[in-house]
């Protein structure tokens, strides 16, 4: 029987960003330089396939430094850590390799700058996300008020509305963050924002690509982890852009192909922590079931690259 036709519309850019590339390379370079094991505090990026691949090469992932033997190499994840973590690492003699995305580090420096200037900080972000925990941990307790929604922005009560600044988690929905920011600026006209947008280029580009393809597709599939903020935002963006079905899958084995029966155009993208091999895996699985044509819709080219820490290049 002839296979049903399926056009796969690939959003581009998709998948790994420069910060994720750098973080994975740091773990691999540390293993090459120091040998097994290299300890990594928290998932290096939010993707099980990546984490399991690095485990197979000799990386050991831990939740806290208390699980790590003294005087060994330790990598901090791409999401960043509170100041207390490198302080503990230094006290215990660890060789620290900081894989924090430089764009997250930028937000850390903003938080410090605002605190030093005597401003209370409003952080737009998701409670409990490692990046938010790390950023809030750059300054003393109470210096940052966390705002997640427009409603939070309408009710947040700073100590001094005239001395206020805002910063943003790098992986938010661009539209959601803009809506929250609009409320903050209306309530607190003197609020100080970042000189350059905190939401990272990769998050913005992937969301723009999904907005472009979503109205033309019967379904959009986002390949990414359920704990990946940027991947979950892509699902939301696709739905808001007019796609009747937007789903998140970790890899091909998780797909309910029966639920996609009758669909002629399937959009596919991948979160910034999802490797391209998982996209290829999904396309291969689709070819087993459908006569597949591929369209790629590219909204911009990405040329950003970040250097590795000096101790891995010297």
Residues designated as active site = 131
Are 222 and 246 a contacting pair, CB within 8 Å? yes
Alpha-carbon span 191 to 164, nearest angstrom: 5
Are 223 and 249 a contacting pair, CB within 8 Å? yes
The DSSP-derived string for the chain is -PPEEEEEEEEES-S--HHHHHHHHHHHHHHHHH-S-EEEES-SSS-HHHHHHHHHHTEEEESSGGGS-SSSEEEE-TT---THHHHHHHHTT-EEEE---HHHHHHHHHHHHHHHTT-EEEEES-TT-HHHHHHHTTS-TTSEEEE-SHHHHHH---S-TTSEEEEE-TTS-HHHHHHHHHHHHHH-TT-B--SS-SS-HHHHHHHHHHHHHGGG-SEEEEES-TT-HHHHHHHHHHHHTT-S-EEEESSGGG--GGGGTT-SEEEEEE-TTS-HHHHHHHHHHHHHHEEEEEEEEE--------PPPGGGT-
Are 41 and 65 a contacting pair, CB within 8 Å? yes
């Amino acid at each position: 029987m002839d296979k049903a036709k399926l056009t796969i519309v690939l959003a581009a850019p998709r998948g790994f960003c420069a910060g994720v590339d750098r973080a994975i390379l740091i773990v691999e370079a540390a293993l090459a330089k120091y040998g097994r094991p290299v300890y990594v505090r928290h998932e290096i990026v939010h993707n099980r396939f990546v984490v399991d691949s690095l485990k197979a090469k000799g990386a050991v992932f831990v939740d806290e430094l208390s699980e790590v033997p003294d005087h060994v190499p330790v990598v901090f994840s791409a999401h960043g850590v509170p100041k207390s973590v490198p302080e503990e690492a230094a006290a215990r003699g660890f060789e620290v390799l900081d894989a924090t995305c430089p764009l997250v580090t930028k937000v850390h420096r903003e938080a410090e700058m605002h605190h030093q200037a005597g401003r209370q900080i409003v952080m737009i972000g998701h409670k409990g996300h490692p990046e938010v925990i790390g950023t809030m941990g750059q300054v003393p307790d109470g210096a940052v008020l966390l705002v997640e929604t427009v409603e939070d922005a309408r009710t947040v009560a700073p100590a001094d509305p005239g001395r206020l600044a805002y910063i943003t988690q790098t992986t938010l929905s661009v539209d959601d963050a803009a809506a929250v920011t609009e409320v903050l600026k209306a309530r607190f006209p003197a609020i100080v924002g970042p000189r350059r947008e905190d939401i990272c280029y990769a998050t913005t580009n992937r969301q723009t690509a999904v907005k472009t393809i979503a109205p033309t597709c019967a379904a959009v599939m986002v390949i990414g982890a359920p704990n990946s903020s940027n991947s979950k935002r892509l699902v939301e963006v696709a739905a808001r852009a007019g796609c009747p079905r937007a789903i998140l899958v970790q890899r091909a084995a998780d797909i309910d192909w029966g639920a996609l029966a009758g669909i002629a155009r399937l959009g596919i993208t991948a979160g910034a922590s999802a490797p391209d091999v998982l996209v290829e895996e999904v396309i291969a699985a689709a070819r087993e079931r459908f006569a597949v044509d591929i369209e790629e819709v590219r909204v911009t080219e990405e040329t950003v690259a970040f250097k590795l820490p000096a101790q891995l290049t010297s």
